[in-house]
């Protein structure tokens, strides 16, 4: 992780040393959607995704006409559940739902592969830190109110992911762009240290799919003064 910070700092610094009359930056606001590949083989129940969403704000420095470095701040959810047949032996439980909220910081690198008047296509990749903001479990019953366990702390830690995908960009004015970015996320450091017997901290799944739709605004700073 320290090497990643050092690399990004070095690239930004070197680019500013070789000063240009105009420095190009951009800012992008995204709506995000996620699908988690839940590994049900290690559990006795069938976990399913709920609707997962988020939003992010990203800042980019354009190194040249093909390359951008970026820093992103992201809020996202991971909601999933399993359904059961209610019986007297499980207190007439019908569904158990897990609700996790994340704050993520991403260090991004994009390289433009195709440049055309119709559409630009870039390679997107980066490192993402995942911080759990809160973690709730809701249990639904047929004959009594929902029981909610709030802000469960069970060995969570900061996890790390690598993302890889494509970015499709359409310019709609001299400074405004529309972006669509599908990508895969591989979590090489998981959210939890170990699995508890009560499954309140389910072992995290390594793979997820993300889709972000954003508006990017180009900032040009005159450095000749």
Residue 14 in 3-state DSSP? helix
- The CATH number linked to 197 is 2.40.160.20
| Low-confidence residues in the chain, pLDDT < 50 | 3-4, 7-8, 11-12, 14-15, 17-21, 224-225
Q: How far is CA 163 from the centre of its chain?
A: 9
pLDDT tens figures, 38-57:
877 777 788 999 999 999 99
* CA gap 137, 134 in Å, rounded: 10
Percent of the chain with pLDDT over 90: 59
Please tell me the pTM assigned to this model: 0.82
Could you give the number of structural domains in the chain?
1
* CA gap 20, 38 in Å, rounded: 48
pLDDT tens figures, 150-186:
777 666 788 999 999 999 999 999 899 999 999 999 9
Extended beta strands in the chain, E state: 22-36, 48-49, 52-62, 67-83, 93-114, 120-141, 147-149, 159-171, 176-189, 207-222
* CA gap 190, 204 in Å, rounded: 6
Which two three-digit tokens encode residue 184?
A: 């895969």
Q: Which domain holds residue 119?
A: 2-222
């Amino acid at each position: 992780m320290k090497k990643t910070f050092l690399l990004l700092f070095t690239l930004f610094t070197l680019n500013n040393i070789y000063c240009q009359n105009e420095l190009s930056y951009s800012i992008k606001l995204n709506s995000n959607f996620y699908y988690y590949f839940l590994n049900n083989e290690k559990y006795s129940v069938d976990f399913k995704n709920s609707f997962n969403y988020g939003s992010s704000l990203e800042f980019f420095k354009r190194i040249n006409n093909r390359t951008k470095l970026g820093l992103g701040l992201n809020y996202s959810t991971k909601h999933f559940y399993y359904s059961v047949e209610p019986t007297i032996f499980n207190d007439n439980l019908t569904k158990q739902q897990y609700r996790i909220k994340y704050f993520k910081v991403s260090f991004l690198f994009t390289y433009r592969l195709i440049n055309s008047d119709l559409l630009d296509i870039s390679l997107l990749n980066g490192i993402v830190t995942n911080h759990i903001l809160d973690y709730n479990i809701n249990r639904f019953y047929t004959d009594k109110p929902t029981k909610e366990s709030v802000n469960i702390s069970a060995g969570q830690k900061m996890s790390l992911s690598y993302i890889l995908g494509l970015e499709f960009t359409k310019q709609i004015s001299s400074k405004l762009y529309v972006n669509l970015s599908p990508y895969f996320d591989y979590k090489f450091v998981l959210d939890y240290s170990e699995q508890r017997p009560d499954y309140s901290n389910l072992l995290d799944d390594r793979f997820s799919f993300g889709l972000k739709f954003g508006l990017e605004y180009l900032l040009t700073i005159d450095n000749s003064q």
